Amino acid sequence: MFRDGRLTQLVLDRLIWFVLLLVVIFFSLRTDNFLSGINLINILLHASVLGILTIGQAIVLLSGNFDLSQEGTISLLTVLAAWMMLPYREMTLAQAGGVGWELHPFIVIPIMLVLGALIGLINGLLITRLQMNNFIVTLAMQLILRGAAFVISMGAIMPGTPALFNWLGGGRIGPIPVSVIATLIVFLVFAYILSNTRFGRQLYAVGSNRQAAAASGFNPAKTITTAYVIGGLMAALASWMLLGRLEVSNPTLGVGMTLETVAASVIGGVALTGGTGTIWGAFSGVLLLSVINNGLNLMEVDPFWVNGVRGLIILLALLIEAQKVRIKVRTVQTTVADKKAAAS
């Protein structure tokens, strides 16, 4: 069974899921209603926005780049959407109405998506056409976008987005939140796209060996740009979802999410160097993070300690996860040896 270490590898490739299981067990022991249906839904609910974002981040990472601009996109698009939809209100302090266009959500949502894609396109072009450093470009983009969000909103919140708009973020089908269903669908779609479409192939090829990809007739620049456009689109989708759930825009929305998405991706086995990792891996990372956040909310932890504990758990998860590398090395050696045996 273990002869060629396939089973071992099978397990190792999915180790993160076992880690996840461990964490779940831990929390269900430490808290009462952790495993209650409603709470499981909560977990998925929190996994939704982060999940959508992480898809974008993971795809950009797979192409061998970073996207730090996503959280800026969220700030800007949430503010912009509220600003376009809400009726004009004489600006009471700290709280603004819209610009007065009162656009219908069906107009606003496409605008958001287009803008998101556009931001991604700009990132992509700057990085591929001009060979600008992806890290800095997207970081600068983040500053610009969030800054713009503040300029538009003057720091004020804009509450009361229309119900139609909120459906994605806040609506429910039976007991299941729409956002959860939507997120799962998006994950399915992209998992399929990455494994079964031309783009998916190009993404992995470009991410793991750019020269070979180019020599196979691919166009790395185009692929990377597309990756960024998807990143932007996902950010836009996430903005829609988030704003729909909160029903109020706030220029500080999305602060600090970049780290979370990158963390989720990497925990899920997406390599920062590109080319390795899967959407489902990223999904497992997202789940792990949201399980931890949720569990800590249910546990009676000293509020001062919450973040510390959170970090600790992630650290432990990584520690377990990391052990596979050693074992893997051995398995790979064997497989190679097998090949050699087979060859001779």
Partner 1 sequence: MPPHSETQSGIEIGPDEYPMRISNKNDILLFIIDNLIWVFVVIALVIFSLLSDQFLTPNNLVNILYRMAALGLLVIGQSFTMITANFDLSAESTMGVTAMIAALLMASAADGGWGLELSPVLAILIMLAVGALIGLFNGTLITRMNMNNFITTVAMMMVLRGATYALSPGRSISFFPKEFNWLGGGTLARIPLASGGNLVIPTAAVFLILAFLVAFVITRYRRFGRNMYAVGANRAAAEAAGISSKKVIVAVYVISGVCAALAGLLDAGRMDSATPRTGMNMIFIVQAAAVIGGVSLFGGRGNLIGAFGGVLLWGILDTGLNMMMVSPFWIEVSRGALLLFAMFVDALKVSYLRRTSIRKALANNPIGLQDQAI
Partner 2 sequence: MEESEVRPLLEMRGISKVFPGVQALSDMTLSVMPGEIHGLVGKNGAGKSTLMAVLMGLIQPDSGTMVIDGRQFTAMTPAQALEAGVAYVPQRINLMTSLTVAENILAGQMPTDRFGFVRWDEAFKDAAERLEKLGLKLDVYQRVEGLSVAEQTLLAISKALFSNARLIILDEPTAALPRPDINRLFGFVRSLKDRGVAFIYISHHLEEVFEICDNVTVLRNGRLVGTYPINEIDTAGLIRAMVGEDVEEYQRKKTDGRVGEPVLELKNMVRRGHYEDVNLTVRKGEVVGIAGLEGCGASALAKSLFGLDRRGLGEVTIKGKPYTATNPSEALAQGLAYLPQDRYLYGLVGGRPVRENITYTVLDRLCALFGFVRLNKEREIVAQYIEKLGIVTPSQEQAAALLSGGNQQKVVFAKLAATKPDVLVLHEPTQGIDVHAKTDIYQIVSELSEDGIAILIISSEVRELLGVCDRILVMYQGKIHQEFRVGDPNTTPQNILLAIEGANTCSETAVSPNLSLIG
Partner 3 sequence: MKKLNMLLGILMALSLVLAACAQAPTPTAESPSEPAASADKVTVGYGAPELSGGQGVIMNGMVTGGEQKGWAVVTTNANFDAAQQANQIDYFLSLGVDAIVVVPVDSQAICSSVQKAKDAGVPFYTIDRAPIGCEINMTVQSDNYLAGKQSAEAMVALLTEKYGEPKGTVLELQGDLGQNVAQLRGGGFNDVMKEYPNIKIISKPTEWKAEKFAQATQDVVSTEEIDGIYMHSDCVGTTVVLSALEQLGKKVPRGEEGHIFLTGVDGCPDALQAIRDGYSDQASSQPMPDFGVVLSDYILSEINGEEIKEGTVTKEGALWSPATIEKADTGFMLNLATTSVTIDNVDEPALWGNQAK
Candidates 143, 149, 135, 105; CA nearest to 244 is: 105
Q: Nearest distance from residue 295's CB to partner 1, in Å?
A: 15
Of 319, 332, 336, 337, the one binding partner 1 by CB under 8 A: 319
Nearer to partner 1, 2 or 135 (CB): 135
Of 211, 342, 343, 344, the one binding partner 1 by CB under 8 A: 211
Instruction: Kindly identify the residues of this chain, within the stretch 289-318, that bind partner 1 according to CB under 8 A.
Output: 302, 304-312, 314-315, 318
- Say whether residue 100 binds partner 1 (CB under 8 A): no
Q: Which residue is listed with tokens 């190009």?
A: 202
Candidates 35, 117, 74; CA nearest to 239 is: 74
Nearer to partner 3, 149 or 206 (CB): 149
95: DSSP letter: B
Range 211-220, long-range pairs (CB < 8 A, 24+ positions):
220/128
31: DSSP letter: S
The H-or-E segment that residue 173 falls in is: strand 172-173
Angle, helices 220-246 vs 163-170, to 10°: value is: 110
Degrees, nearest 5: CA angle 199-205-211:
125
Residue 272 site contact among partner 1, partner 3, partner 2, none (CB < 5 to 8 Å, cut-off depends on kind): partner 1
Q: Nearest distance from residue 130's CB to partner 1, in Å?
A: 4
How many amino acids of this chain bind partner 1 (CB under 8 A)? 69
Nearer to partner 3, 146 or 324 (CB): 146
Instruction: Kindly identify the residues of this chain, within the stretch 11-30, that bind partner 1 according to CB under 8 A.
Output: none
| CA dist., res. 20 & res. 292, Å (int) | 9
Q: Which residue is listed with tokens 């520690």?
A: 319
Give contact residues for partner 3 (rule: CB under 8 A): 31-34, 36, 38-39, 42, 45-46, 49, 90-95, 126, 129-130, 150, 154-157, 159-160, 166, 170, 172, 177, 242, 245-248, 250-253, 255-256, 293-294, 297-298, 300, 303-304, 306-307
Please count the residues of the chain. Answer: 344
Q: Which two tokens stand for residue 2?
A: 């273990």
Residue 201 site contact among partner 1, partner 2, partner 3, none (CB < 5 to 8 Å, cut-off depends on kind): partner 2
Q: What is the DSSP string of 271-331?
A: -TTSS---HHHHHHHHHHHHHHHHHHHHS---TTTHHHHHHHHHHHHHHHHHHHHHHHHHH
Q: Nearest distance from residue 299's CB to partner 3, in Å?
A: 10
Candidates 207, 250, 279, 341; CA nearest to 52 is: 279
Residue 2 site contact among partner 2, partner 3, partner 1, none (CB < 5 to 8 Å, cut-off depends on kind): partner 2
Residue 112 site contact among partner 1, partner 2, partner 3, none (CB < 5 to 8 Å, cut-off depends on kind): none
Give contact residues for partner 2 (rule: CB under 8 A): 2-5, 196-199, 201-202, 204-205, 208-209, 211-219, 275-276, 332-344
- Say whether residue 218 binds partner 1 (CB under 8 A): yes
- Say whether residue 156 binds partner 1 (CB under 8 A): no
Residue 94 site contact among partner 2, partner 3, partner 1, none (CB < 5 to 8 Å, cut-off depends on kind): partner 3
Q: Rg of the Cα trace of the chain?
A: 22
Task: Give the CA distances from residue 157 to residues 60, 88, 197, 199, 250, in Å, rounded to whole numbers and listed in that order.
Answer: 31, 13, 42, 39, 5
φ, ψ of residue 175 in degrees (nearest 5): -85, -10
Nearer to partner 2, 176 or 332 (CB): 332
| Interacting residues with partner 1 (CB under 8 A) | 64-65, 68, 126-137, 139-148, 150-151, 154-155, 206-211, 214-215, 218-222, 259, 262-263, 266-267, 272-275, 302, 304-312, 314-315, 318-319, 322-323, 325-326
